């Protein structure tokens, strides 16, 4: 594949953009790719190369790129000239629709990004409980602000014992007080989690969990673990917060809360509600959400772009597509079919590997056993993964070379794209087997 124009743009971009990219996660060797068009399951780069997208906007684009319902909603909202700074009828409709679909969403407020949604959820939790500390799961990503960019993808040689992970900054520049106030939990390990939570229980404002660790590939929560967190939060007087940025509308129409029948006090959403546009939400119990209504001693909720008129129209349109649950069901059955094909291929190739996924989110681990937590994921074979993902790229798929970066299909990934993916996974497994033999 010839990518000269991307290379030239990269050279030029470095003169005006730090590292030539607006998100570090888009850096790649030998240079980032620059894109000019997207439609359905496909994207085209500036050199005219066509890819089948398996990134889908970090899992945000659930219906497919350039979906007509979203395009029309944007055009109609633009036509009346509204941008931001006003409450609109569409904002009320979007909230009502959201409330109907999401369990525990007695009230909802729209923000712009998942990072802001979690930031606001934590302000509410601290205001409501008058406490400071936040417990989060090792290997979980909840955005890039101080309280949560901790122990996101920690190096295992610094992360402490499996049953007592230490809090490690995920980036330079964090406030050290945030690290002191962070309590790190081992995913799907109820016994150790209970011990850790009890040791800091009375300081905890909130326990946050992504109820399937998708930013470490796809690691399902065990229901018993979520029930343990629910019980511990209640006993300790902390709030239980679900980060449903990626699980929302995917694991079930009503997200993880519906799938696992476990309700959070607050939950954050984004991605699917905007099908690729910057919009997110905080939702939860009325008495708790009230902690950010105007008034003394309450958490602030302000922001120029909150509830932006065009975004509200997009939320209405996206949720309109998701409301009958059909999209979620279709994505689930396509995902299950892919997993079945992959596991049969892996057995045939004699490669110890797991494809894990749900609701269109997919990932591959080169481990002998199914992956239950971040550490198991981090210990998988990186050589095999690199060989596998390179084979997918060679077959025309847009994939991330970053180990543990999740992938996704959308409603627009139909039989042709999925058959192509099965053929590419077959080649990828052959390459992964070869990679291991070369290394041995
Ligand atoms: C689970 C989860 N939480 C939070 C975020 C942060 O959302 P945003 O990138 O919109 O700030 C992400 C983004 O990838 C995410 O996957």
Task: Give the per-residue SS3 of 77-145.
Answer: HHHCCCCCCCCCHHHHHHHHHHHHHCCCCCEEEEECCHHHHHHHHHHHHHHHHCCCEEEEECCCCCCCC
Long-range (24+ apart) CB contacts under 8 A made by 304-308 are: 304/84, 304/85, 305/84, 305/112, 306/109, 306/110, 306/111, 306/112, 307/87, 307/88, 307/91, 307/109, 307/110, 308/83, 308/84, 308/112, 308/279
The pLDDT of residue 353 is 98
Query: pTM surpassing 0.95?
Result: yes
- Give the number of residues written for the chain: 440
Index of the ligand 1 atom closest to the CA of residue 118: 4
pLDDT tens, the chain, 440 aa long: 899 999 999 999 999 999 999 999 999 999 999 999 999 999 999 999 999 999 999 999 999 999 999 999 999 999 999 999 999 999 999 999 999 999 899 999 999 999 999 999 999 999 999 999 999 999 999 999 999 999 999 999 999 999 999 999 999 999 999 999 999 999 999 999 999 999 998 999 999 999 999 999 999 999 999 999 999 999 999 999 999 999 999 999 999 999 999 999 999 999 999 999 999 999 999 999 999 999 999 999 999 999 999 999 999 999 999 999 999 999 999 999 999 999 999 999 999 999 999 999 999 999 999 999 999 999 999 999 999 999 999 999 999 999 999 999 999 999 999 999 999 999 999 999 999 777 65
Ligand 1 mean position, distance from CA 161 (Å): 27
- Fold assignment, 68-322: 3.40.640
Q: How far apart are CA 97 and CA 246, in angstroms?
A: 19
> Are 80 and 74 contacting, i.e. CB atoms less than 8 angstroms apart?
no
Which 3 state secondary structure label does DSSP give 35?
strand
141 as an active site residue: the answer is yes
The pLDDT of residue 439 is 60
Give the active site residue among 141, 149, 365, 385.
Answer: 141
Give the active site residue among 128, 225, 265, 271.
Answer: 271
Give the active site residue among 215, 243, 265, 426.
Answer: 243
Index of the ligand 1 atom closest to the CA of residue 247: 1
Domain(s) labelled CATH 3.90.1150.10 in the chain stretch across 34-66+325-439
Ligand 1, residues 23, 24, 142: which to mutate, most atoms within 8 A of Cβ? 142
Our measurement of the distance from residue 11's CA atom to the centroid of its chain's CA atoms, rounded to an integer in Å, reads 31
Q: CA 240, 245, 246: angle at the middle one, nearest 5?
A: 115
Ligand 1 mean position, distance from CA 112 (Å): 11
The pLDDT of residue 227 is 98
- Fold assignment, 34-66+325-439: 3.90.1150
Domain(s) labelled CATH 3.40.640.10 in the chain stretch across 68-322
DSSP H helices, 283-351, are 286-289, 309-322, 326-349
Q: How far apart are CA 420 and CA 424, in angstroms?
A: 6
From first CA to last CA, the distance across the chain in angstroms is 31
427 as an active site residue: the answer is no
Atom 9, ligand 1: which residue's CA is nearest? 114
136 as an active site residue: the answer is no
Ligand 1 pocket, residues with Cβ under 6 angstroms = 58, 113-115, 118, 141-143, 210, 215, 243, 245-246, 270, 280
> Are 423 and 395 contacting, i.e. CB atoms less than 8 angstroms apart?
yes
Ligand 1, residues 270, 277, 306, 407: which to mutate, most atoms within 8 A of Cβ? 270
The pLDDT of residue 309 is 97
> For the purposes of burial, counting CB atoms within 10 Å of the CB of 185, is it exposed (0-12), middle (13-18) or buried (19 or more)?
buried
Residue 405 Cα distances to 170, 195, 214, 245, angstroms: 15, 30, 8, 15
């Amino acid at each position: 594949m010839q990518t000269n124009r991307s290379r030239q743009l990269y050279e030029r971009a470095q003169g005006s953009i730090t590292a030539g990219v607006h998100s570090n996660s888009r850096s790649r060797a030998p240079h980032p790719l620059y894109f000019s068009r997207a439609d359905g399951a496909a994207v085209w780069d500036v050199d005219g190369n066509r890819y089948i997208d398996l990134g889908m906007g970090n899992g945000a684009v659930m219906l497919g790129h350039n979906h007509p319902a979203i395009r029309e909603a944007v055009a109609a909202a633009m036509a009346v000239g509204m941008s931001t700074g006003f409450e609109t009828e569409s904002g009320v409709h979007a909230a009502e629709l959201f409330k109907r679909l999401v369990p525990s969403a007695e009230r909802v407020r729209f923000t712009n990004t998942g990072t802001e949604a979690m930031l606001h959820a934590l302000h509410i939790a601290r205001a409501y409980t008058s406490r400071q500390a936040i417990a989060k799961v090792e290997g979980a990503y909840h955005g890039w602000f101080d309280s949560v960019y901790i122990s996101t993808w920690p190096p295992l040689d610094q992360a402490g014992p499996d049953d007592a992970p230490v809090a490690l900054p995920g980036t330079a520049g964090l406030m050290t007080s945030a690290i002191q106030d962070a309590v790190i939990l081992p995913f799907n390990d109820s016994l150790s989690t209970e011990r850790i939570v009890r040791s800091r229980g009375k300081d905890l404002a909130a326990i946050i969990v992504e109820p399937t660790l998708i930013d470490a590939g796809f690691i399902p929560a065990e229901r018993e673990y979520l029930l343990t967190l629910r019980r511990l939060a209640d006993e300790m007087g902390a709030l239980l917060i679900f980060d449903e940025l990626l699980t929302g509308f995917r694991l079930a129409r009503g997200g993880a809360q519906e799938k696992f029948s476990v309700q959070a006090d607050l939950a954050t959403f984004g991605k699917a509600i905007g099908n690729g546009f910057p919009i997110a939400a905080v939702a939860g119990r009325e008495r708790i959400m009230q902690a950010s209504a105007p008034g003394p001693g309450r958490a602030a909720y302000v922001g120029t772009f909150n509830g932006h008129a065009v975004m509200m129209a997009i939320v209405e349109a996206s949720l309109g597509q998701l409301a009958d649950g059909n999209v979620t069901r279709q994505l689930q059955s396509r995902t299950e079919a892919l997993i079945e094909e992959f596991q049969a291929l892996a057995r045939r190739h004699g490669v110890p590997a797991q494809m894990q996924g749900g609701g269109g989110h997919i990932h591959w681990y080169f481990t002998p056993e199914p992956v239950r937590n971040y550490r198991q994921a981090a210990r998988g074979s990186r050589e095999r993964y690199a060989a596998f993902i390179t084979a997918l790229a060679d077959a025309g798929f847009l994939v991330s070379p970053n180990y543990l970066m999740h992938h996704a299909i959308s409603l627009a990934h139909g039989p042709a794209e999925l058959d192509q993916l099965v053929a590419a996974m077959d080649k990828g497994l052959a390459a992964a087997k070869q990679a291991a033999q070369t290394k041995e």
